[in-house]
Amino acid sequence: MKLSVIQSVLAGLLAATTLGASPAFAEKTKFEFWYGLSGDLSERVQDACKKFNESQADYEIVCTSQNGYDTTLQNTIAAYRAKKQPAITQIYDAGTLDLMLSGAFVPARKLMADNGYTIDWNNYFSGIANYYATSTGELNSFPFNSSTAMFYYNADAFQKAGIDFKPDTWEQVEEAARKLKAAGYECPLGFNFDPWPMLEQFSAIHNQPIATKANGYEGLDAELVFNKTKFVDHVKFFKKMADEKLFVVKTKQLGMDILPSFTSQTCQMIQTSIADHGTIGKTLPEGVKWDVAMLPVWKSTERQNSLVGGASLWVMAGRPEAEYKGAAAFLNYIATPEMAEWWSTVTGYIPVTKTGFDAMKAGGFYDKAPYKGRERAIESLAYTPTSQNTRGIRLGGFTQIRKEVSTSLEAIFMQNADVQAELDQAVERGNTVLRRFEKTYAGQKLN
């Protein structure tokens, strides 16, 4: 009798063990995603990862912030060399060429095709996709948090100063700045030394080259030329306006960067990313009227499309096949129109696909007060078909080149250095970076 009881218990334990090993309780495939966003935006990425994990039972994505774009690029390269790379990594625009030439990734089209997903690659806005695509238009990575530079202004301050126009041209910006100053505003326009809006976006919308070889797309032997374009006159204009205290330098080092200078109503105009739209709306006191527009152009300029900023998602080579199935599922999930709208709602970034944008527009997203104006970023990116000067920037060591430009801008505005001489030096130092990069990848061709 006792033996029968023992046999019954063992049978029960065996049944429980068998049930525990059934597919319903199978262990999920885990894979890593490293990203560079921090603060509130990092929390939103974590929300996206949580949504994906809760949407299905096969995979678990583990998302970790590297607390900065530069750090993410450096850590990804180091991890790949140590064979400890994540399945997915977020690389910002300036690091695109580094990843391309590394060969350490699985191309976007191959990943999705190998895992059974049919993707309409033409669904991505060309102004966004071309930055991350090969010369034949095939995407290497997946556009993710995309933005472009925009012009923000305090409509209440404009009204009080008697300004009845939206600043579409830099001539109008100057007129507005003078009226704001006369009305008692100490900082009509705040700016810093970030080359992204001042050099890169300005050059694109004015159809000016930053470097030869189609801004680097046609070869590693490209040379910087922005010291010989309309950019020089643009910097001289900023210097003149700064000397008259109509444009005011606002940096963290001086106690207040441009975004808080606008949200505190210290400065009435700024250039910054469309991704800051949500922060501005949440931070400005309730009732304050403000607006956003495309970046101004100089009068008589035939406006071109602006450049995409932000980052894309790269799938790293050398991971197990099971992780690639999970990576493909995640990338497919965040590209759905529903997730595109959610992402734009909670961050301010723009949708990267036409279907995502159309769905949001049809649903009245851009008619709602907190989001009104964000569609102008899409208008800016798609203003014209991309050209050699507006497709993007594909230069080696571009992070360092940006630092060289920023250093020269700081010397011009903080130390009264000569504009032309400083930009000449920035180009010289930048070209040294390019030649070093070209030597490192000697013999490799851009695809």
The residues pairing with 350 across neighbouring beta strands, listed in sequence order, are 146
pLDDT at 373 exceeding the cut of 70 = yes
Position 2 confidence tier, pLDDT thresholds 50, 70, 90:
very low
Q: Which residue has the tokens 């326009």?
A: 189
Cite the DSSP H helix spans in 21-38.
Answer: none
Q: What is the pLDDT of residue 153?
A: 98
pLDDT in tens, 78-105: 999 999 999 999 999 889 998 889 889 9
Top mean pLDDT of 120-134, 354-368, 429-443 is at 429-443
CA distances from 429 to 226, 234, 297, 335, 403 (A): 13, 21, 28, 40, 10
CB 183 within 8 A of CB 386: no
Fold of the domain spanning 27-147+308-381: D-Maltodextrin-Binding Protein; domain 2 (3.40.190)
Position 25 confidence tier, pLDDT thresholds 50, 70, 90:
low
> Cα(305)–Cα(106) distance, rounded to whole angstroms?
29
pLDDT in tens, 277-307: 988 998 999 999 999 999 999 999 999 999 9
Please work out, in degrees rounded to the nearest 5, the angle formed at the alpha carbon of residue 37 by the alpha carbons of 57 and 197: 135
Sign of CA dihedral 284, 286, 291, 292: positive
With b meaning 16 or more CB within 10 Å and e meaning fewer, what string describes 304-335? bbbbbbbbbbbbbeebeeebbbbbbbbbbbbb
Q: Which residue has the tokens 């966004």?
A: 128
Fold of the domain spanning 149-306+397-440: D-Maltodextrin-Binding Protein; domain 2 (3.40.190)
Read off the pLDDT of each residue in 241-269 and give the average, rounded to a whole number. 96
pLDDT in tens, 196-217: 999 999 999 999 999 999 999 9
Region at 36 (left for phi over 0; alpha for psi -120 to 50; beta for the rest): alpha
pLDDT in tens, 387-416: 999 999 999 999 999 999 999 999 999 999
**Per-domain boundaries in the chain:** 27-147+308-381, 149-306+397-440
pLDDT at 18 exceeding the cut of 70 = no
**How would DSSP label each residue in 52-91?**
HHHH-SSEEEEEEE-SSHHHHHHHHHHHHHTT---SEEEE
From 60, 390, 394, select the one nearest 203 (Cα to Cα).
390
User: In angstroms, how far is the first alpha carbon of the chain from the final one?
Assistant: 78
Same fold yes or no, 27-147+308-381 and 149-306+397-440: yes
Q: What is the pLDDT of residue 285?
A: 94
